[in-house]
Amino acid sequence: MKVTLIQMDVAWESPHTNHETAERAMLAAERSDLYVLPEMWNTGVTIEPKGIAESEGGETLQWMKQMANRLDAAVAGSVAVHLPDGTYRNRLYFVKPTLKIVNYYDKHHLFAYGGETLNYTPGDEHVNVDWRGIRFRLCICYDLRFPLWLRNKDDYDVLICVASWPEIRMHAWRVLLAARAIENQCYVLGVNRIGSDPYCQYCGGTSIVDPFGMATSCPDGEASVVTQTLDMKRLKSFREKFPVLKEMD
């Protein structure tokens, strides 16, 4: 399976601009089976979602469906969503082409340090998605710091983490991506933004990390993409030879 990660600057609270930026990057990249965008890539991460968050089935989700159909590929990325019950969620959509059912994951570990708990409601379910023979686990940004939440019980092959991870904590980002890949014997797709918003500076660090902890990354601070074919035969062989997942606590 070929995957493409989109490292982009996110225009603050401007969905149409961000749709256009993402579309250009995706169409310029190698044709892939999966394209992954950062956390709240359509607006930037805001702790005050009122008036910014989209309803379920909003314009950004419709755009993702259109791109999935256009590219015959899955498209993933998180969006602030306002639900009918009045709650707000940081929701990671995994959109497959032609299918009406959309898989999604609501961020479980909200970032209280940055104020995310003030207006958002956490999700409480693990979400795995099957796509073209590969099992994906979904997570968002701060979730990456919680290994028990992301523990691989031999139920996924690739961990997707979409993020808005500040430049000041980039060392932690890189270490945690590698740690999750090594301990879970999986690929990790870590997608981060660049640029700035009213809260932070971002330098990217978007990476495809293999099960041995080795990363292929976008250049820091540049709008770019990284594309790679995931070697599932190699992953399977490694798991059979060195059965970490069968010996977990």
pLDDT higher for 179 or 248?
179
Active-site positions read 39, 107, 141
Own/partner pairs, 149-156, CB within 8 angstroms, 24+ separation: 149/108, 149/109, 150/180, 150/184, 151/184, 151/248, 152/183, 152/184, 152/185, 152/186, 152/245, 153/245, 153/248, 154/245, 154/246, 155/128, 156/128, 156/184, 156/186
Model pLDDT for residues 183-217, shown as the tens digit of each residue: 999 999 999 999 999 999 999 999 999 999 999 99
Percent of the chain with pLDDT over 70: 100
CATH code of 75's domain: 3.60.110.10
Helix, strand or coil for residue 138? strand
Tokens linked to 118:
């003030």
Q: What are the angstrom distances between the C-alpha of 51 and each of 36, 80, 210?
A: 25, 10, 39
Domain that holds residue 165: 2-247
Domain count, the chain: 1
With contact defined as beta carbons under 8 Å apart, do 55 and 29 qualify?
Answer: no
Quote the pLDDT of residue 123.
Answer: 98
Quote the pLDDT of residue 101.
Answer: 86
- From the number of C-beta atoms within 10 Å of its C-beta (0-12, 13-18, 19+), residue 171 rates as exposed
Q: What are the angstrom distances between the C-alpha of 225 and each of 3, 47, 168?
A: 10, 27, 22
Indicate the average pLDDT of the chain: 97
Tokens linked to 124:
């409480």
Position 100 confidence tier, pLDDT thresholds 50, 70, 90: confident
Model pLDDT for residues 172-189, shown as the tens digit of each residue: 999 999 999 999 999 999
> What CA–CA distance (Å, rounded) separates 26 from 71?
9
Model pLDDT for residues 46-98, shown as the tens digit of each residue: 999 999 999 999 999 999 999 999 999 999 999 999 999 999 999 999 999 98
Model pLDDT for residues 128-177, shown as the tens digit of each residue: 999 999 999 999 999 999 999 999 999 999 999 999 999 999 999 999 99
